[in-house]
């Protein structure tokens, strides 16, 4: 199939992959409690569990590692990272953390108290978990289109300003310490927010004295969609657009394991010096000194170099095109996927694929296990299991979207791998009637349960007849 630009890199080092038999995979997934997250990675052929920390670093990043300054305090590598973040994202105060959720913990502890409210464009599990652990209630104010897998809206990550206004009127601006806005929106399938919408959201929030924090994990991918789809931005550089996305916000929490092409790391970016002081104080307690935040000096060097590579147009256009190619192959073959295809993943609509498996039997988790069984491809459930239980009622939450996410690591897989994935998912879809049982919890952890949960087939000994 045409339409896939050649990769703008060549392979310098290889990592062997091992193909397995169907019998082997049947045993492996059973031993993993039907949760692909608990598989050993050597039992996985193409690993699309996440694009987080799984990127291939460039030769320039590997050389940057050698420049890592491992001084405990005031490491040179910190200042290199600080400069890269200031230049590309525009935040004055840069506070390193070990990864995104480290930053979420610090920000939530600084600003949230029991009885407060946070609004955002759909939730992300670790982000919301930290907000809830600090006593806040999260409110989803994303546009309705984001909850419809078939809606072709170009900016399904946009905030519905009407919903935000209703919330502010209902709970009072004083009880909303901040807005938590993501670019792109992972749980909607990597969907972007427009610069215009984000700017309007910030204006409304600031009018009420509410600061806005951006989750910038995939903001470069968001910038690429802005360049393609938002009027007025086609001729601007990715760096310009990235800065335009960050400009109306008061700060950011970053997982450098995504856009920044690193294997670990993150940062908090802030404008308010007092909040920055408070955050640095907590970083000392929970992450490490405020000039390394749980990272080695070499990690900070790799991220700084990765940031400059991430905004390169050859890189970002090929990255998004590879994801789009997988989406197009599945869509053309009739596999129901979230449309339009997002920045980092293709999401197979599990309820449309397996309408005979009720959501109480974790439809997307079942589909994830089935896709692993077919050819050793690992995706992740994004639906009822990921949504967890409501902390107040204890009831399972079933968000409107229930999908299998196939997240594509950056610069790792070639077109033949992507074709192999497409062939396998199309095959599973064709044989979907043979998936006869859903799953029930055998072990349910209390937080972020999708990572460690174990399941058992509801009927019989397998999910597949
Ligand atoms: N925010 C978003 C939008 C994310 O996608 C993630 C992680 C985080 C925050 C947390 O960052 O992992 O560095 O602590 N997402 C990964 C994923 C785990 O697979 O989507 P982290």
Q: Which of 310, 336, 364 is the last residue of a domain?
A: 310
Report how far ligand 1's centroid is from the alpha carbon of 256 (Å): 9
Structural domains of the chain, count: 2
The finding on whether 54 has its CB within 6 A of some atom of ligand 1 is no
Mean pLDDT of 35-61: 98
327 and 210, same domain (yes or no): no
pLDDT at 71 over 60: yes
Express each pLDDT in 267-308 by its tens digit.
999 999 999 999 999 999 999 999 999 999 999 999 999 999
Q: Which of 88, 89, 107, 87 is nearest to 97 (CA)?
A: 107
Residue 10 lies in a domain: no
Mean pLDDT of 422-433: 98
Domain interval for residue 270? 59-310
Is the separation of the CB atoms in 38 and 28 below 8 Å? no
Q: Which of 258, 281, 310 is the last residue of a domain?
A: 310
How many other CB atoms are there within 10 angstroms of residue 465's CB atom? 10
Q: Which long-range contacts (CB under 8 A, 24 or more apart) does 285-291 make?
A: 286/102, 286/105, 286/106, 287/96, 287/97, 287/98, 287/102, 287/106, 288/96, 288/98, 289/72, 289/73, 290/95, 290/96, 291/73, 291/74, 291/75, 291/78, 291/96
Mean pLDDT of 236-252: 98
Express each pLDDT in 152-176 by its tens digit.
999 999 999 999 999 999 999 999 9
The finding on whether 129 has its CB within 6 A of some atom of ligand 1 is no
305 and 319, same domain (yes or no): no
Tell me the C-alpha distance between 306 and 410, whole Å: 11
Tell me the C-alpha distance between 26 and 18, whole Å: 16
Residue 325 lies in a domain: yes
CATH number, domain of 137, equals: 3.40.640.10
Task: Please give the full DSSP string across 180-203, using - where no structure is assigned.
Answer: EEESSBGGGTSB---HHHHHHHHH
88 and 207, same domain (yes or no): yes
Task: Please give the full DSSP string across 33-68, using - where no structure is assigned.
Answer: TT-GGGS-GGG-SEE-S-SSS-PPPPHHHHHHHTT-
The finding on whether 127 has its CB within 6 A of some atom of ligand 1 is yes
Q: Which of 310, 344, 361 is the last residue of a domain?
A: 310
303 and 318, same domain (yes or no): no
Residue 300 lies in a domain: yes
Whole-number average pLDDT of the chain: 97
268 and 360, same domain (yes or no): no
Q: Return the pLDDT at 243.
A: 98
The finding on whether 259 has its CB within 6 A of some atom of ligand 1 is no
The finding on whether 378 has its CB within 6 A of some atom of ligand 1 is no
Is the separation of the CB atoms in 440 and 456 below 8 Å? yes
User: Which pLDDT band holds residue 338 (cuts at 50, 70, 90)?
Assistant: very high
Q: Return the pLDDT at 446.
A: 87
User: Which pLDDT band holds residue 419 (cuts at 50, 70, 90)?
Assistant: very high
pLDDT at 1 over 90: no
3-state secondary structure of 14: coil
**Residue with CA at minimum distance from ligand 1 atom 8:** 100
pLDDT at 368 over 90: yes
Q: Return the pLDDT at 3.
A: 66
Give first-to-last CA distance, the chain, whole Å: 32
Tell me the C-alpha distance between 338 and 153, whole Å: 11
> What number does the ligand 1 atom closest to the CA of 257 have?
13
Q: Return the pLDDT at 2.
A: 53
250 and 319, same domain (yes or no): no
Express each pLDDT in 184-231 by its tens digit.
999 999 999 999 999 999 999 999 999 999 999 999 999 999 999 999
Residue 451 lies in a domain: yes
Tell me the C-alpha distance between 362 and 348, whole Å: 14
Q: Return the pLDDT at 447.
A: 85
* Phi/psi at 266 (5° precision): 180, 180
How many other CB atoms are there within 10 angstroms of residue 269's CB atom? 26
Mean pLDDT of 57-73: 98
Lowest average pLDDT, out of 122-131, 260-269, 418-427, goes to: 122-131
> What number does the ligand 1 atom closest to the CA of 256 have?
13
Mean pLDDT of 400-416: 96
Express each pLDDT in 436-448 by its tens digit.
999 999 999 988 8
**What is the dihedral sign for C-alpha 184, 188, 189, 193?**
negative
Express each pLDDT in 25-40 by its tens digit.
999 999 999 999 999 9
Mean pLDDT of 365-388: 96
The finding on whether 410 has its CB within 6 A of some atom of ligand 1 is no
pLDDT at 391 over 90: no
**Residue with CA at minimum distance from ligand 1 atom 11:** 100
113 and 136, same domain (yes or no): yes
282 and 380, same domain (yes or no): no
Is the separation of the CB atoms in 120 and 180 below 8 Å? yes
Residue to mutate (ligand 1; options 50, 51, 55, 100; most atoms within 8 A of CB) = 100
**Residue with CA at minimum distance from ligand 1 atom 9:** 100
Q: CA-CA distances (angstroms) from residue 348 to 23, 167, 281, 401? A: 25, 32, 43, 10
Is the separation of the CB atoms in 221 and 320 below 8 Å? yes
Report how far ligand 1's centroid is from the alpha carbon of 459 (Å): 34
Is the separation of the CB atoms in 261 and 65 below 8 Å? no
Report how far ligand 1's centroid is from the alpha carbon of 52 (Å): 7
pTM higher than the cut 0.85? yes
Q: CA-CA distances (angstroms) from residue 396 to 136, 360, 387? A: 19, 9, 8
């Amino acid at each position: 199939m045409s339409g896939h630009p050649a990769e703008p890199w060549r392979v310098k080092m290889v990592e062997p992959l091992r193909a397995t038999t169907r019998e082997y995979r049947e045993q492996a997934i059973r031993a993993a409690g039907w949760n692909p997250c608990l598989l050993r990675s050597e039992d996985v052929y193409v690993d699309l569990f996440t694009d987080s920390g799984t990127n291939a670093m460039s030769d320039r990043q590997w050389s940057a590692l050698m420049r890592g300054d491992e001084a405990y305090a005031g490491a040179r590598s910190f200042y290199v990272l600080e400069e890269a973040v200031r230049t590309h994202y525009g935040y004055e105060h840069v506070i390193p953390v070990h990864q995104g959720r480290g930053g979420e913990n610090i920000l939530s502890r600084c600003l949230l108290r029991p009885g407060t409210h946070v609004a955002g464009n759909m939730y992300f599990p670790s982000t919301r978990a930290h907000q809830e652990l600090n006593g806040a209630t999260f409110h989803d104010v994303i546009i309705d289109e984001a909850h419809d897998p078939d809606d072709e809206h170009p900016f399904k990550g946009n905030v519905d300003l009407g919903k935000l206004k209703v919330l502010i009127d209902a709970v009072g601006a004083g009880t909303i310490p901040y807005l938590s806005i993501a670019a792109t929106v992972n749980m909607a399938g990597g969907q972007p927010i427009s610069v215009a919408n984000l700017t309007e959201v910030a204006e409304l929030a600031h009018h009420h004295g509410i600061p806005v924090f951006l989750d910038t994990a995939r903001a470069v991918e968001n910038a690429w969609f802005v360049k393609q789809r938002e009027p007025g931005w086609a001729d601007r550089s990715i760096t310009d657009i990235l800065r335009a996305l960050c400009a109306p916000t008061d700060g950011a929490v970053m997982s450098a394991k995504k856009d920044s092409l690193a294997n670990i790391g993150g940062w908090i970016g802030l404008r308010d010096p007092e909040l920055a002081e408070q955050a640095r104080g907590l970083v000392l307690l929970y992450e490490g000194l405020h000039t390394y935040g749980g990272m080695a000096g070499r990690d900070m060097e790799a991220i700084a170099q990765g940031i400059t590579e991430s905004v390169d147009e050859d890189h970002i256009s090929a990255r998004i095109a590879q994801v789009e190619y997988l989406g197009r192959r599945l869509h053309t073959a009739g596999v129901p996927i979230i449309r339009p295809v997002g920045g980092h993943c293709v999401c197979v609509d599990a309820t449309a694929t397996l309408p005979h498996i009720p959501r109480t039997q974790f439809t997307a988790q079942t589909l994830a296990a089935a896709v692993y069984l077919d050819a050793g491809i690992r995706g992740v459930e994004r639906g009822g299991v990921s949504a967890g239980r409501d902390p107040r009622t204890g009831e399972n939450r079933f968000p409107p979207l229930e999908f299998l996410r196939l997240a594509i690591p950056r610069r790792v897989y070639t077109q033949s791998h992507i074709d192999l994935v497409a062939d396998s998912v199309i095959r599973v879809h064709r044989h979907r009637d043979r998936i006869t049982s859903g799953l029930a919890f055998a072990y349910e952890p209390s937080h972020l349960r999708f990572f460690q949960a174990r399941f058992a087939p509801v009927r019989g000994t397998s999910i597949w007849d």
